Amino acid sequence: MGGGKTDVWQGTLALMVLKTLQTMGAMHGYGIARRIEQTSGDRLAVNYGTLYPALLKLEQEGYIQSEWGVSDNNRKAKFYKLTRAGRKQVERETREWEKTTAILARFLSPEGQP
């Protein structure tokens, strides 16, 4: 267990964070990381050195907002939630990824057929 995990792909972490918050509602960083790993079937490992700068950037862009609260184990934690702009961004990025993967699938399929 754990030997087969790969790091989250470049450029996908922001969408994974936004989608996680869209699905789960407000969460703290540790919870977001665990949920992404869980959703990937434990195939991805979320590096905190990558996650927290991504959360900060998403907050600066106005896609998420944070507030301090108390976690399940009674510790002070910063909770993140989607903003209206964040909900729109999830939809935009989801459409872009669907287009991109459809194009890539053509290259990976035999003889370029979908």
Would you tell me how many other CB atoms lie within 10 Å of the CB of residue 56?
Answer: 12
Q: 24 lies in a domain?
A: yes
- pTM greater than 0.75: yes
Per-residue pLDDT of the chain (114 residues; tens, 9 = 90+): 445 677 776 678 999 999 999 999 999 999 999 999 999 999 999 988 999 999 999 999 999 999 999 988 899 999 999 999 999 999 999 999 999 999 999 999 877 555
CA distance 24 to 21: 5
Look up the domain containing 104 and give its range.
Answer: 6-112
Q: Report the phi/psi class of residue 69: left, alpha or beta, with left for phi > 0 and alpha for psi in -120 to 50.
A: beta
Instruction: Examine residue 1 and state whether it is found in any structural domain, yes or no.
Output: no
Q: Is 68 helix (H, G, I), strand (E, B) or coil?
A: strand
Domains in the chain, number? 1
